[in-house]
Structure formats: C-alpha cells, structure tokens
Structure 1
Amino acid sequence: MNVSVDDRGSVLVAHVTGELDTYTVSDAKRVFDGLRATEGSEVVVDLREVTFLDSSGLGALIGLYHRVSDAGGHLQLVCAGVTLRLMELMNLGQVLDISTELGEASASGGAALA
C-alpha cells in the first residue's frame, strides 16, 4: 500500500494504491492524519487503484470523513472496481460523497479537479 498526497492549492488529493487493510491501515492513518482539515477545505481520496479494502481500511476512511466534516471541510472519495462495489454494497453513497472520476465536481459544490 502506498499513499501519495498532491496539494492542488484549494484541494488536497490523497492517491491510495494497493491493499488498504489491517496490515497497512496504520500507515494510511498516519498520512490521513496529516491532511489539512479546516473550514471550507476540500479533501479527495483517490481509491481507484486500491486492490483490496477491508473493514479497518473502511474505518480509516470514515474516521477521515468525520475529522474533515467536524472541521467544516468536505471529503470526496473517488472509487472504481473493488472500492466502488464495496461502497455500493454498503450504501455509503448516502453518507459519503463518492464519484468515479477524479475530475468530477463534488455533489456538495466542491471544486472540480482537473
């Protein structure tokens, strides 16, 4: 598992690749905890290259959602393949902003990523 962060000014994008599971979640949490979460901040987590996501990885994403939301920011997850199927199966789109393209604007009016 690897997480790289791309600071695009008004938007932070964390690109996650590989397996996000109980063995790698502590590294992901460390990166997520370092993401700026302030009033009006936009944080995007790109999960399109994640090959496996278990409950501990999902817990880290939900924890990030709460931290960003509590700070007055907005979190968007970009999903495909296994991550998109999991989000759909768990109906997480009712709570989380989930898209399939990095360039889509968030449903809550966040900035589009180019």
Structure 2
Amino acid sequence: MDTTHHRQGALEPAPASVPGAVPVPVPAPVPASAAGLPGVLPARRPTAHTRVRGAATVVELRGSLDLATAPDIRAHLDAAAAPPGARVIVDLRPAEFFDCSLLGLLCRARRRALESGGCLGVVCTRPRHLRILEAVGLDRALRPVATLEDALQHGCEHVQPHS
C-alpha cells in the first residue's frame, strides 16, 4: 500500500492518522502576483503585459485573444482593476484577433473599476475591431481612442460611467 501523498509538487509520507492514504495531487500555492492583489502586477505573458504609466495602469493585449488565452488576460485585467480608483487603459492595437471571451473580460474589468471609483478606457485602431465593439454596443461604453497618449491625457473624462 502506498503511504505517500503530494504536497506542493513533492511526495511526502502520508500522515500517520490517515491509514491507507493514496497519492493525491495538492495544487501549489498561488503566487501573490497571480492572486490579483492590489499593487502587484502579473507576470508578462505572450498575450498580456501590464505596466504603470503615470496614474494609469496600461494592459497591452497582443496576438489572438480567445477562450484559450482568457485566464492570462483575466489575471492582468483583474490586477489592474483591483485598486480603489483604478485608472485602467486596455491597449488593443497589438491584438490581431479577439472573440467574445475578450468582450466579456472587458465588461467585467470595466464594471469592477467603476464600482471602486475608477474607470477603464480602450485604445483601438483596427477597423474590424472597432466594428465588433460597435456591433455589440461597447463602443458607447468603452469609448475607444486612437492613441495611448490620448487615453493617458484624457483619463476617465471621456468614459461614461452608466453607459
């Protein structure tokens, strides 16, 4: 009978109080950067990179943004929107493709930022992406601008909180 079990990726003897214990995977602890703690930026990923520019947190999204990449994107957007009064700017210019997964994440991040007295703006220049935002009505809520400088300069003033 096997008397070991997994603990944070390693096999250790099972506690004596558990007769007949079998190996059971125990997930490793979540690092603080992935836990969405305010002030902690997630690690750079192929599809998402977060940086601070002035009073704003810029989340740059690149490549194909879909259901497979949603967990990484969610971690970046959650971390950016977590602090009270967060000013979040999502830069979609490097994005080649996105599906409804991203639209849901943008709505979620915007709601979270607004609930804590902050805002979320979007930088987007690709015509097909702008058409998608318009088709689902998010162009009115997110008010995309063409440059990061415009988003940084105008901050939250162009974003309507109750759209």
TM-score range, shorter chain: 0.7 to 0.9
Is it true that 1:66 corresponds to 2:111 in the alignment? yes
Secondary structure in 1 matching 2:102: helix
| TM-score (norm. length: structure 1) | 0.84
- For structure 1, the 5+ residue unaligned runs are none
Decide which structure has the larger Cα Rg and report it. 2
Give 1:90 deviation, angstroms.
2.2
Number of residue-to-residue matches in the alignment:
110
2:132 corresponds to? 86
2:52 corresponds to? 7
CA contact (8 A) 1:78 1:99 kept: yes
| TM-score (norm. length: structure 2) | 0.61
Give 1 or 2: higher strand fraction: 1
Matches within 5 A, 1:1-114: 1-81=46-126, 82-104=128-150, 105-106=154-155, 108=157
Q: 1-side partners of 2:67 and 2:132: how far apart?
A: 16
CA contact (8 A) 1:97 1:106 kept: no
Greater RCO, 1 or 2 (C-alpha within 8 Å, sep 6+): 1
1:14-39 deviation digits (Å, cap 9, x = unpaired) = 11101111111111001111115444
Give 1:80 deviation, angstroms.
1.8
